Amino acid sequence: MRRRVAGLAMMILLLVFSVSFGGLGVVDTSLRLTPPSGTMPFGTDTLGRSLLERVAAGTGTSLFIGGIVAIASFALGILLALCCFIPGFPRRVAFIFADAVKAVPSIVLALFSASLSGPGILSLAVSLSLAHIADIFRTSYSRASAIMKEPYIDAARCAGVGRMRIFITHVLPPLLPYAAMQSVSSFLSAVIGEATLSFLGCGVPVPIPSLGSILSEARSVILSSPWMMFFPASFLLLLGIAINLIAFSLSDPDPASERT
């Protein structure tokens, strides 16, 4: 519980940081690679832009993509799992999709799907969420099919409760804690995936600041300008630790049913 509060507090602080300092930075080549000082607290990058603004905006990008991926995989994963109980739904197709997504490392899939419909934050988020939708779909489905065998579902059905109502009142609530836990870890892996793809040059398009692309820029000047590596790396790490604090605190939502 304390961990969760700490993690959430860190996330909120990072969000506040990114909103209050974030910006594209002004290109001023006369100021390029100046070390941290009073006017430029984090120093400047290779184009003379304020690193504080770029790191803050990059943190925002990470939070945004992570948030979209977490919400999308949570909602779509559960939705897909529940849809599989509707007669006539192409359940096999859903499972084949989940199998196929699992068969390649998610970063590989994202590498290519990010190029669909041109580079952009949204297409990146969609491609990063594919693997997690499949993950949450799989576990939610197996839990839901265990629940569907319970006698109280039969009882509800005999009492004339409709399918929709059974889903909402009996099946959905016990699925939520697990899916929430998985979606927190999908948040982390999306943040890491975005940073990695941007580091490789296949992530968010150039004008949008991203911690990954700042880090890849910093790589060439690492010995002369270590601050360019230090600040984005620390914020990426802080973000990761914040998410992990939340994830660890959620990792045991219901110890009694651990073995199902």
Partner 1 sequence: MDSIWKRLLRLLLTMLIVSLAVFSFISFSSGDSSSSVLSEDASEEAVEAYRKAMGLDEPFAVRYLSFLSSFFSGNWGVASDGQDISFLVLSRIPATLSITILALLMSLAIALSLAFLSLRRHTIGRALTTAWAAVMMSSPVFLIAIALVLLLSFQLDLFPVAGYVPLSGGFVRSIRSVFLPSLSLALLHSSLIMLMMRAAVESNLSASYSMVARAFGKGFSRIAAIDASKPALPLLAILSGQSAAAFIGGSAAVETLFAIPGIGSLLVTAALRRDAALAGTLVMLIALSVSCISMAAEAVSALLDPRRER
Tell me whether residue 90 or residue 201 sits nearer to partner 1 (CB atom).
201
Instruction: Give dist(CA 46, CA 59) in Å, integer.
Output: 19
Minimal distance, residue 205 CB to partner 1, in Å = 12
The residues, ordered by sequence, that sit 6+ positions from 30 with a Cβ below 8 Å of its Cβ are 48
Name residues contacting partner 1, limited to 9-48 (CB under 8 A).
none
Q: Which of 199, 205, 178, 182 lies closest to 131, judged by CA? A: 182
Specify whether the CB–CB gap between 78 and 231 falls below 8 A. no
Total residues contacting partner 1 by CB under 8 A comes to 40
Minimal distance, residue 7 CB to partner 1, in Å = 11
* DSSP-assigned letter for residue 257: G
Minimal distance, residue 243 CB to partner 1, in Å = 7
Name residues contacting partner 1, limited to 86-125 (CB under 8 A).
96-97, 99-100, 103-105, 107-109, 111-113, 115-118
CA distances from 123 to 94, 112, 113, 157, 205 (A): 21, 11, 8, 41, 11
Residue 139 lies near partner 1 (rule: CB under 8 A): no
Tell me whether residue 75 or residue 123 sits nearer to partner 1 (CB atom).
123
Minimal distance, residue 242 CB to partner 1, in Å = 8
Strand-pairing partners, residue 50, are: 44
Instruction: Give dist(CA 169, CA 174) in Å, integer.
Output: 10
The residues, ordered by sequence, that sit 6+ positions from 252 with a Cβ below 8 Å of its Cβ are 258
Name residues contacting partner 1, limited to 193-222 (CB under 8 A).
195-196, 199-202, 212, 215, 219, 222
The residues, ordered by sequence, that sit 6+ positions from 16 with a Cβ below 8 Å of its Cβ are none
Minimal distance, residue 237 CB to partner 1, in Å = 5
Taking residues 225 to 254 in sequence order and writing x for each that binds partner 1 by CB under 8 A, - otherwise, the string is ----x---x--xx-xxx-xx---x------
Binding site for partner 1 (CB under 8 A): 96-97, 99-100, 103-105, 107-109, 111-113, 115-118, 188, 192, 195-196, 199-202, 212, 215, 219, 222-223, 229, 233, 236-237, 239-241, 243-244, 248
